Amino acid sequence: MIRCIAVDDEPLALDIIADYVGKVPELTLVASTTNAIEALTMVQNGEADLVFLDVQMPELTGIQFLKIINGKCDVILTTAYPQYALDGYELNVVDYLLKPIAFDRFYRSIQKVLSNRANRIVQVPVVAPTDSAIDFIFVKTEHKIQRVDLEDILYIEGLKDYISIYTPTERIVTLQNMKKMEEILPPSRFVRVHRSYIVALDKIASIERGRIFIEDKVIPVGDTYRDAFYKFIGDKNA
Mean pLDDT of 209-235: 90
What are the tens digits of pLDDT across the range 162-208?
A: 899 999 999 998 888 888 888 889 888 999 999 999 999 999 999 99
Give the residue, 46 or 119, on which the prediction is more confident: 46
Flag whether pLDDT at 31 surpasses 70: yes
Per-residue model confidence (pLDDT) at position 52 = 97
DSSP SS3 for 26: coil
- Decide if 136 contacts 149 (C-beta within 8 A): yes
Flag whether pLDDT at 216 surpasses 80: yes
| Residue 184, Ramachandran bin (φ over 0: left; ψ between -120 and 50: alpha; else beta) | alpha
Q: How far is CA 44 from CA 20, 40, 72, 156, 211, in A?
A: 25, 6, 7, 37, 50
Give the residue, 48 or 140, on which the prediction is more confident: 48
Give the residue, 113 or 82, on which the prediction is more confident: 113
Structural domains in the chain plus CATH codes: 2-120 (3.40.50.2300), 136-237 (2.40.50.1020)
Per-residue model confidence (pLDDT) at position 124 = 46
Per-residue model confidence (pLDDT) at position 123 = 47
Per-residue model confidence (pLDDT) at position 54 = 92
Beta bridge partners of 3: 28
- Angle, alpha carbons 167-24-117 (nearest 5°): 65
Per-residue model confidence (pLDDT) at position 88 = 56
- Decide if 218 contacts 206 (C-beta within 8 A): no
pTM of the model: 0.52
Report which of 27, 29, 23, 5 is spatially closest to residue 78, judged by C-alpha positions.
Answer: 5
